[in-house]
Amino acid sequence: MSGPKRLGTPRLARVRASDDGRPLAVDGREVEAVRESWLVEDRWWTDAPLRRRYWEIVTTCGRDVVVFRDLEGAGWFTHR
């Protein structure tokens, strides 16, 4: 290992979402309930601002998953 390696780096997630951005299925598993949603904005004063809409959801198999949509770039990610 060359240097320190970050833990929990975002990984691409397959998310199907409704028109208002609410996740309907994550990695092929239907969403049973949305527990919480929050917005994270950071580094807005730099050239590489960070804007993410996080969703904590429960899938039909009972798994609790946190996914986010990158509002600056595009795509859905998870931290697992």
Partner 1 sequence: MFAYVIVSVLLPRFELVVASGDRKALLGEPAALAPEPGKEQKIGEVSLAAEAFGVRRGMRLGEALARCPRLALLPPDPLGVADAWDAALERLEGIGAAVEPQRPGLACFDARGLLRLHGGRVEGVLDAARAAIGASVRLGAGPTRFVAIAAASRARARRPEIVREASALAGEPVGLLALREETAVLAEPLERLGIATLGELAAVPRAALADRFGPAGLLAADLVAGSDTPLRPRPASERLEETLEPPESRSGEQLERALEILIDRLLARRERRGRTLRAVALSATLVEGGTWRERIVFREALADRARMRLALGGHLLKLPAPAEALRLGAERFGPPHATGRALFDDGLAQRRARLREAVRQARAAAGPDAALRVLEVDPGSRIPERRAVLTPFEG
Contact flag: residue 48 with partner 1 (CB under 8 A): no
Count the residues of the shown chain that bind partner 1, applying the rule CB under 8 A.
Answer: 16
Nearest 5°: the CA angle 2, 79, 56 is: 165
Query: Which residue in the set 1, 12, 48, 74 belongs to the binding site for partner 1 (CB under 8 A)?
Result: 1
Query: Does residue 6 interact with partner 1 by CB under 8 A?
Result: yes
Q: Using only the alpha carbons of the chain, give its radius of gyration.
A: 14
Q: Which residues bind partner 1 (CB under 8 A)?
A: 1, 4-10, 32, 40, 42, 50, 60-62, 79
